[in-house]
Amino acid sequence: MIYDSSLDAIERKVLDGERITCEEALRVYRALPLTELGGLADAVRRRKHPEPIVTYIIDRNINYTNICNVYCTFCAFMREEDDPDAYVLSPEQVGAKVQELVDIGGVQILLQGGHHPKLGIDYYLNLLQYLRARFPQVNIHGFSPPEFTHFAEVFRMPVEEVLRRFKEAGLGSIPGGGGEILVESVRKRIAPLKCSGQQWLRVMEIAHGMGLRSSATMMFGHVETIEDRVEHLRLLRELQDRTGGFTAFICWTFQNENTRLRVPSVGAHEYLRMQALARIFLDNFDNVQSSWVTQGPQIGQIALRYGANDFGSVMMEENVVSQAGTTYRLDEPTICRLIRDLGYEPRRRNNWYQLLN
């Protein structure tokens, strides 16, 4: 093997806590073996989190409707209004699901749905107010940037006003859903009717300015290039420089079953490589979450050695990824065992990564 001084210099930058460029990110991604890339990511993770703790949260995904009019090619969840299994949940139906979460000690719901073309703002405000009044101890982590862009069009009001009214009604934070790949050429191929990458970033910037923190995501392994993935990370890093509003980064691979986007899914090797690169490149993100929901518990566990410091959620309910053919379920004792088996201490957290137990 020929010694490469330029590659060694990039690795030294990472270990010294210096920021790397997009070109350097591409270089280490392509040149380093998986274990070496993972080792660099683990070093960054240990510098940011020297304590031997891995966090997790008890929450529940609740999809208030599956009716949607954007027809993303990678989605197997959406339905049209006249489909026999189309639905819109009432506040009481959502509340019953939240009560089940509270009964097991849950602290948060992830509330998302399709782009329903006819629901007015009163539906959403009534839902938020009902949940806030009945479950004041539960954080509502809800509605992704594409949903807010859709709401602004349907309600005929600025995104700023929608966010303000939702926050007043009880919204506590925003999930990073709908990010996919933030490069326009990719979005036009996989989700041409969904908000643009710049709209996604703008919603997040406005929300952060209002004190609403959010996660950031990437769904990869479909039609994008490695350059597109690094550009996605660059856009997230630049916004985080401006706002500091992202709590965590989560990436996962495209799941292709039952979707119209007929491209092969990438495997665990690519997932671990990408998560490691994200930990290295996103130097202004404190937390990286393992995606056992798409990768399975064993790869989710291994991801804790590839830059992740969080094991995600004890997910009572998940409807979107499972529609695309991937269904994994883990209870709290199993999550704690997987964390302990790697030598870490499992600790419950809330959405803001404050330890609870």
127-136 pLDDT, tens per residue?
A: 999 999 999 9
What is the structure's pLDDT at 16?
97
Query: What number is the average pLDDT over the span 272-279?
Result: 98
At 327 the pLDDT is 54
Question: Rounded mean pLDDT of the chain?
Answer: 92
Residue 117 confidence (pLDDT) = 87
Q: How far is CA 299 from CA 80, 119, 123, 194, 296, in A?
A: 35, 39, 39, 31, 6
Give the per-residue SS3 of 227-291. HHHHHHHHHHHHHHHHHCCEEEEEEEECCCCCCCCCCCCCCHHHHHHHHHHHHHHCCCCCEEECC
Q: How many CB atoms lie within 10 A of CB 195?
A: 25
Element (H, E) at 348: strand 345-348
Could you give the percent of the chain with pLDDT greater than 70?
Answer: 92
In contact, 301 and 280? CB cutoff 8 Å: no
Which of the 8 DSSP states describes residue 20? P
pLDDT classification of 309: cutoffs 50, 70, 90: very high
Domain boundaries, the chain: 34-348
Confidence at residue 72, expressed as pLDDT on a 0 to 100 scale: 67
pLDDT score recorded for residue 257: 61
For the ranges 44-48, 70-74, 78-82, the maximum mean pLDDT occurs at 44-48
**Which amino acid is residue 292, in one-letter code?**
W
Average pLDDT over residues 232-255: 96
Between residues 259 and 170, which one has the greater pLDDT? 170
What does the pLDDT average to over 204-214?
98
Residue 316 pLDDT greater than 80, yes or no: no
Name the burial class of residue 157, with classes exposed (0-12), middle (13-18) and buried (19+) by CB atoms within 10 angstroms of its CB: middle
For residue 317, how many other CB atoms are within 10 A of its CB?
Answer: 16
Q: Is the pLDDT of residue 65 over 70?
A: yes
Q: Which fold would CATH assign to domain 34-348?
A: TIM Barrel (3.20.20)
- Assess whether pLDDT exceeds 50 at residue 251: yes
Residues 16-25 have pLDDT tens digits of: 999 999 999 9
Mean pLDDT over 223-248 rounds to 98
pLDDT at 328: 59
pLDDT at position 73 is: 63
**Number of other CB atoms surrounding residue 227 within 10 Å:** 12
Q: Where are the alpha helices (DSSP H) in the chain?
A: 5-15, 22-31, 34-48, 91-103, 121-134, 145-155, 159-169, 184-190, 197-209, 226-243, 268-281, 292-295, 297-302, 320-323, 332-341
Q: Tell me whether residue 349 is exposed, middle or buried, using C-beta atoms within 10 angstroms of its C-beta: 0 to 12, 13 to 18, 19 or more.
A: buried
